[in-house]
């Protein structure tokens, strides 16, 4: 199979449909999603709007790419690589009704929807099980975690209900070999990680925080096991 080596930024500049991105996302997409080029990935994108980003994924990843696009309002047409699902990402019922049979179905999930903190959290919690092992969860425009009383709810610096603060708990889950009290083991008076994260995110390898983007690598937890190579005498 021919692998498409065209730069995502060049693809963006030549899209037929409208697409809305921040400039620094392109390098990050290539860093975290580049390994799916030529691998016919199944993608779930929340917030497809005019269809430009789905067109971009199809052109970037190549033949066999398929996008399930969720949006609260229909603003583009379905194509041979795009299936539309109209619904509210903040609704638990929407996820249960439409995706409950799709366990480990997607290689990549991208949340570019409402950017509202409760919706981002609901989406992550409902969608994480839909990602294959070795897949990627991507949430963008997370600067709305810092919006205070503007456009979104539960934002504001250090608001524990913002998506960014919620995601920071995952760092403690990843470190639970060394901080068992954070995940509820043993006596501890301090704040603990929400139990739902402890159960959901045992299957997580890493989390990456960037300006406005949070990326989670799915996969069995990396083994914490020390090995020492002794110098030959």
Q: Using CB under 6 A as the criterion, which residues of the chain lie in contact with ligand SAM when the complex forms?
A: 19-21, 46-49, 52-53, 70-73, 75, 88-90, 112-114, 119
Query: Apex CA 200: angle with CA 61 and CA 135, to 5°?
Result: 15
- With respect to ligand SAM, which residue has the nearer C-beta, 88 or 161? 88
Q: Cα 200 vs. chain centroid, distance in angstroms?
A: 14
Q: Distance (Å, rounded) from C-alpha 113 to C-alpha 142?
A: 11
Are 134 and 33 spatial neighbours (Cβ–Cβ below 8 Å)?
A: no
- With respect to ligand SAM, which residue has the nearer C-beta, 45 or 107? 45
- With respect to ligand SAM, which residue has the nearer C-beta, 146 or 171? 146
Q: Cα 140 vs. chain centroid, distance in angstroms?
A: 8
Are 205 and 218 spatial neighbours (Cβ–Cβ below 8 Å)?
A: yes
- Terminus-to-terminus CA distance in the chain, angstroms? 51
Q: Distance (Å, rounded) from C-alpha 226 to C-alpha 50?
A: 50
- With respect to ligand SAM, which residue has the nearer C-beta, 115 or 218? 115
* Min separation Cβ 20 and ligand SAM, Å: 4
- With respect to ligand SAM, which residue has the nearer C-beta, 91 or 205? 91
Count of residues in the chain: 233
* Min separation Cβ 186 and ligand SAM, Å: 39
* Min separation Cβ 160 and ligand SAM, Å: 22
Q: Kindly give the residue spans of alpha helices, DSSP state H, lying in the chain.
A: 8-13, 25-33, 52-61, 92-99, 117-127, 163-174, 195-200
Are 83 and 109 spatial neighbours (Cβ–Cβ below 8 Å)?
A: no
* Min separation Cβ 79 and ligand SAM, Å: 15
* Min separation Cβ 213 and ligand SAM, Å: 13
* Min separation Cβ 153 and ligand SAM, Å: 12
- With respect to ligand SAM, which residue has the nearer C-beta, 183 or 213? 213
């Amino acid at each position: 199979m021919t692998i498409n080596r065209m730069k995502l930024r060049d693809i963006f500049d030549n899209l037929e449909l409208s697409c809305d991105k921040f400039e620094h996302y392109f390098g990050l997409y290539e860093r975290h999603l580049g390994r799916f080029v030529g691998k016919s990935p199944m993608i779930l994108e929340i917030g497809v709007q005019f269809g430009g980003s789905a067109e971009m994924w199809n052109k970037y990843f190549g033949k066999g790419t398929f996008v399930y696009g969720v949006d609260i309002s229909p603003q583009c047409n379905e194509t041979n690589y795009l299936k539309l699902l109209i619904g509210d990402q903040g609704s638990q019922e929407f996820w249960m009704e439409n995706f409950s049979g799709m366990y480990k179905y997607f290689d990549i999930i991208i949340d570019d929807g409402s950017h509202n903190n409760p919706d981002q959290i609901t989406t992550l919690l409902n969608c994480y099980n839909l990602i294959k092992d070795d897949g990627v969860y991507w949430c963008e425009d997370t600067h709305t975690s810092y919006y205070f009383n503007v456009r979104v709810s539960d934002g504001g610096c250090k608001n524990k209900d913002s998506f960014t603060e919620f995601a920071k708990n995952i760092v403690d889950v990843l470190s639970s070999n060394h901080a068992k009290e954070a995940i509820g083991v043993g006596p501890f008076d301090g704040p603990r990680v929400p139990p739902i994260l402890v159960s959901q995110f045992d299957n997580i390898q890493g989390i990456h925080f960037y300006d406005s983007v949070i990326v989670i690598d799915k996969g069995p937890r990396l083994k914490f096991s020390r090995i020492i190579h002794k110098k030959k005498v």
